[in-house]
A and B are shown apart, each in its own frame.
Chain A
């Protein structure tokens, strides 16, 4: 116990030392936040809730839910996790205010507690022009792939089926990369956009239901920002391709031990203080199958 207290004290003092160094003009190159580029400004924002299946093979499907934001700009739109968006926005404003980088870094670390709840996938539509850019984290790195904006062959079922957030919605269905979707769009919002990669309907898509009930998106809020709301993209990313991305993602989700394949003797210290072979750590532990939205890779 005492040892633990001593160590904590030591770290606190070290942290303070580090802080005081920074004040006197220490390491200016310390990375506070990966660099971002502003590529557009949002003229319309829509919040969505996504229900993503945890284990598609289970008898009773359980879902994790995330609050997402769709920023629609003049040219580009971005669909990402709202918590992540807020975190980035907070860091932006801190950087703009000229706050000490060490403080910004500390704030970022405190906010990082919630980062484990992020839905990391980010979809940029029409960026670059005519293309989609998708960013996602695999283990600790952010990967990016580009693809041509896919053509979604929607079949309009009816023009007045439901009311979502007070908007009369039309209903359409389409098959997209191995899954069947039903979407509800609002003709009164003349924007060809929607959650994730969905687009191509004569109105903003407010709700999408996937037939196998693995995914579900529902718009929960809609507003036109009266402030400057930048649409930014992380630049320090590793480029990959659509197929490679899915393969790597599947590997990371279904067998995290495969990551240690290069070093079979790598050891990890557990919470009990024991050193165990990294490859043994999660052996035998059930991991749900990778259930991507796209099945055509």
Chain B
């Protein structure tokens, strides 16, 4: 009824609205010439537009006014003339205007490329917009780009997900070792960084992948493509009683069908390369499903603890890394070959005091002084041939590496001195073949993977007293032949696709170990192991996919089931055999709400299996102090994981938002435990139902503010996990709740001043069921000020603050100050870095771990200066 009345009123009002016509002529005051296309506006008393028109070629206008107001405003606008505005009666009349010429200065906006351009699914970040004077490598610039995060070793994530390919000019030269390029390619050589959203590298599988991962492509400047680019750098310096040096040689040649990269890096200033050499995890949703990860050593060394300050502050190293990568061909077959050699020596000294919580409010305290030298030589080679066509994809990758690790420790544990020597070589050779054939709607997929691994490793522990030799020695050798062959067939019909995959995995695993530990023999663990294990897995994996591009919906449902057989052949006792079925359903729903908003929901049930040595029930001396014993049953971790993701990216506003929430329930059939004896600590697993829960919520927001020429990022995450573990025979709960907040900014405050900063706050509550909750908090902040008095030259001062407070102990505070002076011309780059000039020399830190609290004091690198010269070519 009310609407009817309203409608009637409106109708009536339309009927009675008077209609006046104002007409006239607009001309130039000086020349008296008519002004064509002048804009004539009629506005109400609130200066809201009622009507408008433009003048014709004779300068005449006529505008109808539909308004009941007695008076209206009439204004005439013409570029280059003074605007005239009059109040006129709302009736039909004639009004001529004579406009006075006026020099008008429009607010000009000059051609400036947008910081991020979007073309289809490609986001192009303009490097010049993000680059600051202090940035040397492209990784320094990538860190400032919203939506992209870069790890210390150059690993790249886009919207929180690792990238699936890294290209230079559209070619994948480096594979997983792309960190070499991100940390070395000069920022000046790159014009654009492209993010290829949802990129599918295998053409036969279509254009988009199903994991939603993206790829990164570096587009070089035109000039830099013509000839090889790179630099030679050398630096010398000193630190109290030590000579410091660094050397860097990098060359990259980019041609349409040929690319090559050579690099040598060496230093003793705290930059280690083991992780850079290992490369990044590149996950692809193709045929390489469930391939084994890199093997771990049979003994556990006392590794360098990661302190919550920059690694260059405490690592004492001598490192060399040589790398050569070559790529030929583009269309038919692409060949890739690479070789690398890593030589690294790390020295570490630390004092550790570990307090284990025992039943009945008792404690087991272990105090240890550790001075160690860790040497590593790793040689690796890869040859790969790839043919990537629309209908056929063939790729064969052969890889071989030898990794020799030697650890020498001088230990004083609870006043007992020992020397421990670990010799841990690993030799591996592997081949991975993938073939994908597409025939219209049918896709055939085949892969074959073979790996042979040999680890003849040895441990020797001697008393520091030279007279008592041969306190303990152990040899262990593991040889594994791993083969996995599989194929799948998929048929696409309209928006649906049905696939059935079959896989056969066969693993032959041999393990021998022998030690001369009297203590272990007396404890009844035995000193000798000799076993062969045969593991066969046969799996069938049906999968259904629905991809409706029009409605931007993607659904995937897979129900792979597999049959596992373990057959352990002991040389010293009865054999063991075990077989079981596994079903691991997986469901993914993705919905692109708009071009910018994307949401996904994922459920997966997984059954992960432990190492066969647990099942084999053999004691293994992990090092002089720890003995590991399997429970005799195979560890099975059944987990249900629910993940929700919501992402938003707006290229025009350079705004990126990412929210993810994960809930995981895990049911494990064994519980880990620790037992303390006089001479050793036993790590074991016992058959016991163990429920673990984990909740993780993570949100991050990053934006480039063009007006302030600043990149800003904030993120927060919450993690909750519950689990149980045995400690000296008693079961304890172990619940942790942690909140982490991070903030970072990079700003060009003025043409002569750049400022950057990073803040990280982490607070964690621990509950072991004995006392009240314990809390530990950590705050770390880094801030740098870069002053550029003249172009090409800058000096900087940066401070790092670390604050650590663990309940029951005093807060640890640390403040470091560094200074840098840099001059950069087209060819030369001179730099002097003075690190830690407040000469902070010891870092102390208390942290909670698995039912224990650990206090570490660590010597830091003293105040040091390094001057370096770089020649860019």
What residues of B have a CB within 8 angstroms of the CB of A170 in the complex?
Answer: 49
Q: Which of B75-83, B630-638, B676-684 lines the interface with chain A?
A: B75-83
Q: Which of A94-102, A184-192, A233-241, A271-279 lines the interface with chain B?
A: A184-192
A125's nearest neighbour on chain B, judged by CB, is B37
A32 at the interface (CB under 8 A from B): no
What residues of A have a CB within 8 angstroms of the CB of B105 in the complex?
Answer: 224
Interface string of A208-235 (1 = CB under 8 A from B): 0000000000001111100000000000
Q: Which of B109-117, B245-253, B749-757, B762-770 lines the interface with chain A?
A: B109-117
B701–chain A nearest beta-carbon distance, Å:
22
A72–chain B nearest beta-carbon distance, Å:
8
Q: Are A166 and B106 in contact (CB under 8 A)?
A: no
Contact of A190 among B57, B78, B107, B120 (CB under 8 A): B78
Minimum-distance CB pairs A-B, first 6:
A190-B77, A59-B549, A221-B111, A165-B109, A202-B52, A223-B108
A63 at the interface (CB under 8 A from B): yes
B331 at the interface (CB under 8 A from A): no
Q: Are A75 and B36 in contact (CB under 8 A)?
A: yes
Q: How large is the interface on A (under 10, 10 to 19, 20 to 34, 35 or more residues)?
A: 20 to 34
B39 at the interface (CB under 8 A from A): yes
Interface string of B10-41 (1 = CB under 8 A from A): 00000000000000000000000000111101
17 contacts between A and B (CB under 8 A): A44-B106, A62-B120, A63-B119, A63-B120, A130-B57, A156-B49, A190-B79, A190-B83, A191-B37, A191-B79, A192-B54, A202-B41, A202-B77, A220-B112, A223-B106, A223-B108, A224-B108
Q: Are B106 and A222 in contact (CB under 8 A)?
A: yes
A222–chain B nearest beta-carbon distance, Å:
5
Contact of B79 among A44, A59, A167 (CB under 8 A): A44
Interface residues of A (CB under 8 A from B): 43-44, 47, 59-60, 62-63, 65, 75, 126, 129-130, 156, 159, 165-167, 170, 189-192, 200, 202-203, 220-224
Q: How large is the interface on B (under 10, 10 to 19, 20 to 34, 35 or more residues)?
A: 20 to 34
Q: Are A202 and B49 in contact (CB under 8 A)?
A: yes
B550 at the interface (CB under 8 A from A): yes
A58's nearest neighbour on chain B, judged by CB, is B549
What residues of B have a CB within 8 angstroms of the CB of A156 in the complex?
Answer: 49
Cα distance, A220 to B114, chains bound together (Å): 9
What residues of B have a CB within 8 angstroms of the CB of A47 in the complex?
Answer: 111
B208's nearest neighbour on chain A, judged by CB, is A60
Q: Are A60 and B39 in contact (CB under 8 A)?
A: no
Cα distance, A59 to B592, chains bound together (Å): 13
B68–chain A nearest beta-carbon distance, Å:
19
A220's nearest neighbour on chain B, judged by CB, is B111
A61's nearest neighbour on chain B, judged by CB, is B120
Cα distance, A126 to B57, chains bound together (Å): 10
Q: Are A221 and B110 in contact (CB under 8 A)?
A: yes
What residues of A have a CB within 8 angstroms of the CB of B106 in the complex?
Answer: 44, 189, 222-224
Q: Are A203 and B49 in contact (CB under 8 A)?
A: no
B48 at the interface (CB under 8 A from A): yes
Cα distance, A78 to B14, chains bound together (Å): 40
What residues of A have a CB within 8 angstroms of the CB of B37 in the complex?
Answer: 126, 191-192
Given A222-B106, A223-B108, A59 and B550 touching (CB < 8 A)? yes
Q: Which of B38, B83, B111, B112 has the most CB of A within 10 A?
A: B111
Q: Are A166 and B109 in contact (CB under 8 A)?
A: yes
Cα distance, A190 to B39, chains bound together (Å): 7
A160's nearest neighbour on chain B, judged by CB, is B48
A79–chain B nearest beta-carbon distance, Å:
16
Interface string of B497-525 (1 = CB under 8 A from A): 00000000000000000000000000000
Interface string of B538-574 (1 = CB under 8 A from A): 0000000000011000000000000000000000000
Cα distance, A2 to B108, chains bound together (Å): 57
Q: Are A65 and B119 in contact (CB under 8 A)?
A: yes
A49–chain B nearest beta-carbon distance, Å:
9
| Apart from A44-B79, A166-B109, A170-B49, 18 more pairs, CB < 8 Å | A63-B120, A126-B36, A126-B37, A167-B107, A190-B39, A190-B78, A190-B79, A191-B39, A192-B37, A192-B39, A192-B54, A203-B39, A220-B111, A220-B112, A221-B110, A222-B108, A223-B109, A223-B110
Cα distance, A156 to B38, chains bound together (Å): 19
What residues of B have a CB within 8 angstroms of the CB of A166 in the complex?
Answer: 107, 109
A191's nearest neighbour on chain B, judged by CB, is B79
Q: Are A202 and B39 in contact (CB under 8 A)?
A: yes
What residues of B have a CB within 8 angstroms of the CB of A44 in the complex?
Answer: 79, 106
What residues of B have a CB within 8 angstroms of the CB of A130 in the complex?
Answer: 57
Cα distance, A161 to B112, chains bound together (Å): 23
Cα distance, A192 to B364, chains bound together (Å): 85
A213's nearest neighbour on chain B, judged by CB, is B595
Cα distance, A209 to B550, chains bound together (Å): 20
